[in-house]
Amino acid sequence: MSAISHHIPDHLIRAHAAGQLPHHFAVVVAAHLSMCDACRAQAEAEEMVGGALLDRLAPAALQDGARDRLLAALDSAPPPPPAPRRSGIFPAPVMQALDGQPPRWRMLGGGIRQQVLSADEDGSLRLLYIPPGRAVPEHGHNGLELTLVLQGAFSDSEGRFGVGDVELAEDDLDHQPVACPGAPCICLAATDAPLRFTAFLPRLLQPLFRI
């Protein structure tokens, strides 16, 4: 893997360490941390700080019988299924979102494919497959989008993004990512609001493709 040049911002690593990120962003951050030694070390440091702060809090009294109820629940609970491991280009957090299965791609047009991994009122998480030289339709953002490259690379007005790189796009960025020559570009993308497409046809198909 080439050196990672575009990292998760500090405030998102801090929020992830505190368990405060929505699920779709948390998966992207966790996947990047599994690929980036520098960000993983920072996340571990944030977790240590959080643990130290918790140690300073005064203990809270438990209700009568709370310990017995907890132990009984643990005894009766089935063992958790084994956590998915990395498979090919997909880090363990992505394999977990895929339920341990290969992607089930859906065509979007022009050879571009996607699989929606989750979508609700808080946002969406998807995999994108972009053939070399193909461009995603030009668009802006109504919120935050995090895009992690898992294979290949893409470029846009913000630069070139290769394997392990993350692009953070907010509502002030309009761009048109283009997959670089070589292997198809496969990305993991999370958004908290629908994209804002420039052209009419992508806007028309937007509800169908849940973009």
pLDDT of residue 38: 94
DSSP characters over 104-172 = --EEEETTEEEEEEEEETTEEEEEEEE-TT-BPPPEEESS-EEEEEEES-EEETTEEE-TT-EEEE-TT
Residue with tokens 């283009």: 178
Cα separation, 30 vs 36, whole angstroms: 10
Cα separation, 179 vs 130, whole angstroms: 6
At 137, list the tokens.
């339709």
pLDDT of residue 74: 64
Q: What is the CATH number of domain 1-211?
A: 2.60.120.10
pLDDT of residue 107: 92
Residues of the chain with pLDDT below 50 are: 53-54
| Phi and psi torsions of 177, nearest 5° | -60, 140
